[in-house]
């Protein structure tokens, strides 16, 4: 794993089934809107020894026309929405600030949990991304400092604290501790 600069990581890893699923989805999604991957899959991508049933993705708000194009391409590529079938219903959930889930046909797991920006921190996550190059593909993940702060300050479950500890160790030479503390203070006042 190479930290090329503050905004680029290169991982020459063997792909898991979870990676392939995520890359398939993101390669379609990225044609239609900005996105960022957050939470557990960030730690998994960086080597954490656990699986996950879902991948959390935040997207920039998109209009219905653009969403319909995205939805149709996902369907063409054997994805379906677990929450509803009609694109109007799926879009209405997004508009109501609810997350919608996509999996491959005839499966439930793994799935993408997709929501659009709902607050200041979602916007920060979407603006400050890190590019992770995996072989010929590219995934955009949230700033590691924000992920650590969120997991240590807000979520705090054993799984989340382990994720934060894993990221702290693999990225120990590159993390900005002051930024983690700044995010924690901001999060503390917000949640």
- Cα(191)–Cα(184) distance, integer angstroms: 10
CB 121 within 8 A of CB 150: yes
- Cα(18)–Cα(163) distance, integer angstroms: 17
Q: Which of residues 81-140 bind another protein (CB under 8 A)?
A: 82-85, 89, 93, 96, 98-99, 108-110
Nearest CB to another protein, comparing residues 169 and 176: 169
Q: How many CA atoms lie within 13 A of 76 on its CB side?
A: 8
- Cα(64)–Cα(69) distance, integer angstroms: 9
Does position 40 interact with another protein (CB under 8 A)? The reply is: no
Does position 12 interact with another protein (CB under 8 A)? The reply is: yes
Site residue total, another protein (CB under 8 A): 37
Locate tokens 């997207």: which residue? Answer: 59
Does position 53 interact with another protein (CB under 8 A)? The reply is: yes
Q: Which of residues 153-182 bind another protein (CB under 8 A)?
A: 158, 162, 165-166, 168-170, 172
Residues at the interface with another protein (CB under 8 A):
1, 11-18, 44, 46-51, 53, 82-85, 89, 93, 96, 98-99, 108-110, 158, 162, 165-166, 168-170, 172
């Amino acid at each position: 794993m190479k930290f090329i600069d503050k905004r680029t990581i290169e991982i020459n890893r063997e792909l898991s089934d979870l990676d392939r699923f995520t890359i398939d989805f993101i390669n379609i999604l990225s044609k239609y809107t900005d996105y960022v991957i957050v939470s557990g899959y960030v730690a998994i991508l960086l080597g954490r020894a656990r699986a996950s049933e879902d991948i959390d993705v935040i997207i920039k708000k998109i209009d219905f026309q653009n969403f319909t194009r995205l939805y149709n391409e996902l369907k063409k590529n054997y994805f379906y929405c677990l929450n509803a079938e009609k694109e109007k219903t799926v879009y209405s959930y997004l508009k109501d600030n609810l997350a919608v889930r996509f999996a491959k046909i005839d499966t439930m797991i793994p799935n993408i949990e997709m929501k659009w920006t709902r607050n200041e921190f979602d916007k920060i996550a979407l603006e400050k991304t890190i590019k992770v190059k995996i072989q010929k593909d590219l995934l955009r993940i949230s700033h590691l400092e924000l992920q650590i702060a969120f997991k240590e300050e807000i979520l705090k479950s054993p799984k989340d604290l382990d994720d934060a500890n894993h990221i702290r160790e693999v990225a120990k030479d590159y993390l900005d501790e002051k930024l983690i503390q700044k995010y924690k203070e901001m999060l503390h006042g917000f949640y």
